[in-house]
Amino acid sequence: MPELPEVETVRRGLDKLIVGKQIVAVDCLCEKSLPIATADVNKIIVGATILAVRRRAKMLMIDLSGNYTLLIHLKMTGQMVYRGEANWGAGHPNDSFLGNLPDRSTRVIIRLSGDNTLFFNDQRKFGWIKLYPTTEIDDLPTMRKLGPEPLIGDPWPEFIRRVRRHPRLSIKATILDQTTIAGVGNIYADESLWLAKIHPATKVEQLSDDDLKRLLDGIKKSMADSLAAGGSTARNYVKADGTRGDYLDKFAAVYNRANQPCLRCGHDIAKIRVAGRGTQYCPNCQMLQ
DNA sequence: CTAGGATCCTGTCAGC
DNA sequence: TGCTGACAGGATCCTA
């Protein structure tokens, strides 16, 4: 699912397409995906104009006129697809990008002025769209606790302070924790650990500040590279012009490459379980300390 | 407080 | 073919 680069890719797409448009109607096909009272949907969302699209960690914020904001999390399988004057989609990669919509993964349909439509598709129903007064967003506990943004400003001082809070935890579990650093998921965890030559199961207390500096650099590099290409997807991605690209062949050094040769040393990439997640790494380059 | 595990859902794939 | 279990890129809640 969408990690930071993918969510930022969604944000950039939506920013171009929906800002300035009015929400004409909202169709809720799955209550769990849109836990907002129908009365509020009709009173607050319908009729509002979209002012801005923001992102923090893996969450999207769509600011509406009337001082309300839609807070969106795509979780594992959420995606946004826009149909109308443009044909665009980003998020979890599957054929819903290209097929007729709505389909059986469609959870919410947002109808916009100018006969445009925004589909929120989410196969596993883990994602959601919530509504808050704009001024309350920053005060939400989940927002307040988030670690620094990897690609904004200098995250290092906060990153090292927050990593060191968990000396006995594996480094992979630590960086997957959104309160350590924002936006890292399973792909970028594995990729950045490979770049830094750190075994995913290493305890934090075994790592030097230099190790952790390399790891943060790896997080920044893998995310920046992915973002430059329009966000990764495991199988394919649909670019703004509707064509498909293949991320993994170009970027991923370890993710989804079990039993294939390490791009650095040629040793077979191994797959193990760390922090309850499938974990790929090079047993030769990434030694356990 | 910490760390580990179960859990929310649907779909796909490997193995029998 | 049909069944079963494992697994999937997230994050929260529960337990010890």
Q: Positive or negative, the Cα torsion across A182, A44, A12, A117?
A: positive
One domain, residues A17 and A139: yes
Asked whether residue A287 is assigned to any structural domain, the reply reads: no
Residues 87-126 of chain A within 7 A of strand B, judged by CB, are: 104-105, 123-126
A114-157: per-residue pLDDT in tens?
Answer: 999 999 999 999 999 999 999 999 999 999 999 999 999 999 99
Do A25 and A136 lie in one domain? The reply is yes
More confident residue, A39 or A249: A39
Q: Which of A109, A143, A177 is the last residue of a domain?
A: A143
The set of strand C positions with any atom below 7 Å of a protein CB reads 7-12
Query: Amino acid letter at A85?
Result: E
A164 located within any domain? yes
DSSP A145-207: T----TTSS--HHHHHHHHTT-TTSBHHHHHHSTTTSTT--HHHHHHHHHHHT--TT-BGGG-
Same domain, A136 and A167: no
User: What single-letter DSSP state applies at residue A53?
Assistant: E
Which of A119, A32, A23 is closest to A69 using CA atoms? A23
Establish if A289 belongs to a structural domain.
no
For the CA of A256 and the C1' of B13, the distance in angstroms is 15
Q: What is the pLDDT of residue A289?
A: 75
Residue A240 has a pLDDT of: 45
Whether A67 is in a domain gets the answer yes
Alpha-carbon span A22 to A113, nearest angstrom: 5
Whether A151 maps to a domain, the answer reads no
What is the domain range of residue A171? 156-281
- In whole angstroms, B9 C1' to A128 CA is 13
pLDDT greater than 70 at residue A161: yes
- Asked whether residue A171 falls in the same domain as residue A108, the answer is no
Choose the final residue of a domain: A115, A143, A171: A143
Rounded distance, CA A184 to CA A6, Å?
A: 11
- Looking at the structure, tell me whether residues A203 and A82 fall in a common domain: no
Residue A112: is its pLDDT beyond 90? yes
Q: Which residue is nearest to nucleotide B10 (CA to C1')?
A: A124
Closest CA to B2 C1' — which residue?
A166
pTM of structure: 0.94
Range of lowest pLDDT (A93-107, A200-214, A219-233): A219-233
> Does residue A104 sit in the same domain as residue A174?
no
The answer to the question of residue A57 being in a domain is: yes
Q: How far is the CA of A124 from the C1' of B7 (A)?
A: 13
Q: Is the pLDDT of residue A1 over 70?
A: no
Percentage, residues of chain A above pLDDT 90? 81
- pLDDT at position A176 is 96
Q: Are residues A194 and A257 in the same domain?
A: yes
The answer to whether residues A96 and A224 belong to one domain is no
| Distance in angstroms (rounded) separating the CA atoms of residues A197 and A120 | 38
Q: Domain holding A172: CATH number?
A: 1.10.8.50
Q: Decide if A286 is inside a domain.
A: no
- Report the distance from CA of residue A182 to the C1' of nucleotide C3 in Å, as an integer: 41
> In which band, very low, low, confident or very high, does the pLDDT at A205 lie, cut at 50, 70 and 90?
very high
State whether A188 and A236 are in the same domain. yes
Whether the beta carbon of A276 falls within 7 A of nucleic chain B: the reply is yes
Q: How many domains does chain A have?
A: 2
In a domain, A270, yes or no: yes
Give residue A239's pLDDT.
Answer: 47
Asked whether residue A54's C-beta has any atom of DNA/RNA strand B within 7 A, the reply is no
Same structural domain, A43 and A77: yes
Specify the CATH number for the domain of residue A90: 3.20.190.10
pLDDT at A96: 84
pLDDT of residue A266: 95
Q: What is the mean pLDDT of chain A?
A: 91
What is the structure's pLDDT at A245? 47
Q: Which of A113, A143, A173 is the last residue of a domain?
A: A143
Query: Mean pLDDT throughout A74-103?
Result: 89
